[in-house]
Amino acid sequence: MVTNVTTITSFGRSGLYDWMIQRATAVVLLVYTLFILGYVFFNPDMDYLQWRALFDQTWVRVFSLLALLSVGAHAWIGLWSVSTDYIKPTGPRFLFQVICGTAMFAFLVWGVQVLWGL
């Protein structure tokens, strides 16, 4: 049952919005994963200059930022559904969500720093 505490911790205003964002971010991450895994797979002996040059291109940085934000939204919605399914008592569930949120924030800031702090 979705109580007010559950609703305010969800990502979007409605379940349908979450459902859509989940799919949208999934497609972004699908393309990004194939891009990166493909690049590393087909460039086994790439050197630092080539790897650095890849991420010096603005479109790769923007795409990586989009993927990073997508991971945040995708993971939040996913973990929110998991936590509301399995952690029934409000206190521990909220603690779990705060921990996930903080970790996500840390990864996001760290990721942006890597992409633009170079």
Partner 1 sequence: MLFAFDLSLESQQGFDAVVDMFENSFFAKLITWGLVSCLLYHLFAGVKHLIMDCGYCEELESGTLAAKVTLGAGVAAVILSGVWVW
Q: Does 105 bind partner 1 (CB under 8 A)?
A: no
Spatial distance between the Cα atoms of 32 and 13, rounded to a whole number of angstroms: 27
Q: Site mask, partner 1, residues 54-73, x = CB under 8 A?
A: -x------------------
Name the minimum Å distance from CB 84 to partner 1: 19
Spatial distance between the Cα atoms of 102 and 118, rounded to a whole number of angstroms: 24
Q: Which of 41, 59, 86, 116 binds partner 1 (CB under 8 A)?
A: 41
Q: Closer to partner 1 by CB, 4 or 48: give it.
A: 48
Q: Which of 48, 59, 86, 116 binds partner 1 (CB under 8 A)?
A: 48
The residues that touch partner 1, with contacts defined as CB under 8 A, are 23, 26-27, 30, 33, 37, 41, 47-48, 51-52, 55, 107, 110-111, 113-114, 118
